[in-house]
Structure 1
Amino acid sequence: MDKELMVSWIEAGIIQIPYLLIQKYREIGLDEKELVLLLHILSFAEKGNEFPTPEQISERMTITSSECSSVLRRLVQLEMIKIEEGSSEEIRFEKYSLTPLWMKLVNEMIQEKKQLDIKNIFLEEQDIYSTFEKEFGRPLSPIECESLAMWIDQDGQDPVIIKAALREAVMSGKVNFRYIDRILFEWKKNGIQTLEQARVHSLKFRQKSRQPVNQTSATSNAVPFYNWLEQ
């Protein structure tokens, strides 16, 4: 596509080029000729002509009106545009609607987001297994791997929260799946969904379990930990 032409369109204020359309036209099945034709339809619409003829469009392009008609038919078949009826002061007319095109762009963005989310989830799950094995100092057993999978898939636990429960268990000196499972159970029961909520919740229970410090057996820096198994 001619970059100077695109710049001149922007400078002249003829159209405001939809960034997503320029960026994603190949992904939704358009070629450059179809893209430029759609941009001209947008340009005509902004000037008040919502149903330009193939002749009018072809005058702005390097294709004939016959070729323009073929491209328009293909765009309708591809469900990129549709022809709608409108009326004004009892006068009926036809116009091009680009709603189907915008829907395809939206669907493409949603699909890309899903793919990115799936990729992130996969990476998070890989990371959580590595984190557990590091803290346990050994590979996880098949039963332990199954427990991790159940926390994520069946219980819907966020990997970030699972790792926070692991840290809580490590701090309490009770690095085992039964203890971590109990922490996750209590957090879920109390609506804990973020790291900050987990921190505040744990701090509250530690303060409750704080015992008077025996000066002969403990220092002032000793940190009490809550036994989640007693819940």
Structure 2
Amino acid sequence: MKSNIVAWMQEGNVSIPTLLFSEYRNLNLNETELVLLLNIITFIEKGNEFPTPEELSARMTITIAECNEMLRRLIQRGFIEIMDQYSNEGIRFEKYSVNPLWEKLVDRFLLNHQVSRQIEKKTEETDVYTCFEKEFGRPLSPFECESLGMWMDDDHHDPIIIKAALREAVMSGKLNFRYIDRILFEWKKNGIKTIEQAKNHGRKFRQKQTDRTQGQENSQQSAVPFYNWLEQ
């Protein structure tokens, strides 16, 4: 019994990217081709870098002829390649390489990531327009929509920073695009790219305003004055 378990453990394991199982269909591979590739990978992992069609078909439900044809198609479609290798004694031999498969999988992963980021960016941009219309209490004019687009596309302001500038304008009681544009300009000039940096920057300027009014007896109870960005 123990010897059987040891023999099973000695068979080893093969590490396969999970992405291959979720993306093989998008790579235009069918299940039989996938299993053939997995068997090639398994043989390579165990030191047999050029398994024969006979060895491969013996593990599957396809004939040797079908295996030969499938190997030929996988090579033509760029999923595997046959490489020439030379031993230390100068003897030439051939081996399979599945690097083309991994390269296709990486391309697929990057494409998925790019599409996801584009969807996320579109959602963030739509959310910015929604926030502005909510604060302004009306639909934005074409000019205002163009300004928002320029902030994101031309000035490369992050939507989160644009919404932070909008909140700053609301808190300051100066809800207009010129004021918000000035805030964004000042933040960009000072290298502000995160919400926390924006909050700290605003606190510093408001503290300066507070210091100027310390002579008033009720300064502690009065509303904290806000920094007027348009006076810069």
TM-score between the two structures when normalised by the length of structure 1:
0.91
Q: What CA deviation, in whole Å up to 9, does each residue of 1:99-132 have, x standing for no partner? A: 1110111111111111111111111111111100
Moved over 6 A (4+): none
- Shift of residue 11, structure 1, vs aligned partner: 10
Q: Secondary structure at the match of 1:29?
A: coil
Q: Residues 172 and 226 of structure 1 are in contact (CA less than 8 Å); yes or no, is this contact kept in structure 2?
A: yes
- Superposition map of 1:21-32 within 5 A: 21-32=20-31
Match for 2:82: what amino acid?
I
Output the CA distance in 2 between the equivalents of 1:191 and 1:167. Answer: 19
Q: How does 1:53-132 map to 2 (within 5 A)?
A: 53-89=52-88, 90-132=90-132
Q: 2:79 is aligned with what amino acid? A: M
CA drift at 1:212 = 2.4
CA offsets 1:64-83 (integer angstroms, 9 cap, x no match): 11100111111111101111
| RMSD value, Cα | 1.7
Offset, 1:93: 1.1
Rounded to whole Å, the distance in 1 between the matches of 2:13 and 2:144 is 63
Deviation (angstroms), 1:16: 2.7
Please give the alpha-carbon distance, in whole angstroms, between the structure 2 residues aligned to 1:39 and 1:125: 43
Map of 1:1-231 to 2, 5 A cutoff? 13-89=12-88, 90-210=90-210, 211-213=212-214, 214-215=216-217, 218-220=219-221, 222-231=223-232
* 8 Å CA contact 1:10, 1:16 repeated in 2: no
Gaps of 5+ in 2: 1-7
3-state SS, counterpart of residue 80 of structure 1: coil
Kindly provide the amino acid, as one letter, of the partner of residue 111 in structure 1.
L
The Cα shift of 1:36 comes to 0.2
What is the distance in 2 between the residues matched to 1:183 and 1:177?
Answer: 10
> Any conservation in 2 of the 1:87–1:93 contact (CA below 8 Å)?
yes
User: Which moved further from structure 2: 63-72 or 201-210?
Assistant: 201-210
The size of the alignment, in residue pairs, is 222
Which whole-Å CA distance do the structure 1 matches of 2:33 and 2:143 have between them? 56
Q: Percent identity?
A: 60
Deviates more, 1:116-125 or 1:220-229: 220-229
Residue 182 of structure 1 aligns to which amino acid in structure 2?
R
Unmatched runs of 5 consecutive residues or more in structure 1: 1-8
Contact 1:10 1:17 in 2 (8 A): no
| TM-score (ref. length: structure 2) | 0.91
Q: CA deviation at 1:219?
A: 4.7
| Deviation sequence 1:150-181 (CA, Å, 0-9, x none) | 10111111100000000000011000000000
Mark the CA change 1:191 to 1:134 in structure 2 (over 3 Å): closer, same or farther: same
